[in-house]
Chain A
Amino acid sequence: MLKIPKIIHDDIVAHAKSGFPLEVCGILGGTAGEISVIYRMTNTDRSNEHFMMDPKEQFAVIKELRGKGLEMLAIYHSHPETPARPSEEDIRLALTPNVSYVIASLAEPERPVVNSFRISGDKVQPEPIELV
């Protein structure tokens, strides 16, 4: 179970919409499975089908989280035109252990969908999201 405040959930969707038609990405931080902060990150690929974060930004966010006593709990990205489920590339690049992988889909623009998954190796486990 991943707990996400509604304001952060809505911000993920807003980020996805503002970046459309490109994929957007970001990091969610918090403690004990409950998100409390969102960091919009740069998609260095600037692509409709791929994303890659800037390592310099990643290090800065990780250190800031640590300084606040928080952890990186999730990595999110958008699927501008495909469903909210991990692609083969998402699974292959789900390298960071012990985090949730959140995907925001705009495949139906009037009904954005945000889903979360735990990914380990080639195993993908859907994870319920509770809006708080």
Chain B
Amino acid sequence: MNLTVNGKGAIVEGKDSLDVNALLVELKVEQPDYVTVELNGDILERENFAQTLVKDGDTVEFLYFMGGGSR
């Protein structure tokens, strides 16, 4: 399937759809537990990653939590 991932075209070979967790593995995203995912403009709740299917033509954005502390 063909996707747009973070603004660039991406091809996932041999799959018609994938759940979000599997897609992050497929995309070799490091530390996926710290990633926020947006699918077709909607930010996904982490607990829904496993049930949410990404399909051909979808637009996916992901980014890492940005946080820290001073102490």
Contacts and interface: CB of A to CB of B under 8 A. Distances in A.
B43 A89 contact: no
Interface in B13-66: 30-31, 34, 36, 38, 43, 61, 63-66
A58 B66 contact: yes
A62 interface: yes
A96 B64 contact: yes
B31 A95 contact: yes
Contacts of B34: 93, 95
A89 B68 contact: yes
B61 A59 contact: yes
Contacts of B63: 55, 58-59, 62, 96
Nearest to A107: B70
A53 B66 contact: yes
B70 A82 contact: yes
Interface string A24-54: 0101000000000000010001011111110
Interface residues of A, number: 36
A5 B7 CA distance: 28
A58 B69 contact: no
Contacts of A95: 31, 34, 64-66
Interface of A: 23, 25, 27, 41, 45, 47-53, 55-56, 58-59, 62-63, 66, 75, 77-82, 86-87, 89-90, 93-97, 101
Interface of B: 6-7, 30-31, 34, 36, 38, 43, 61, 63-71
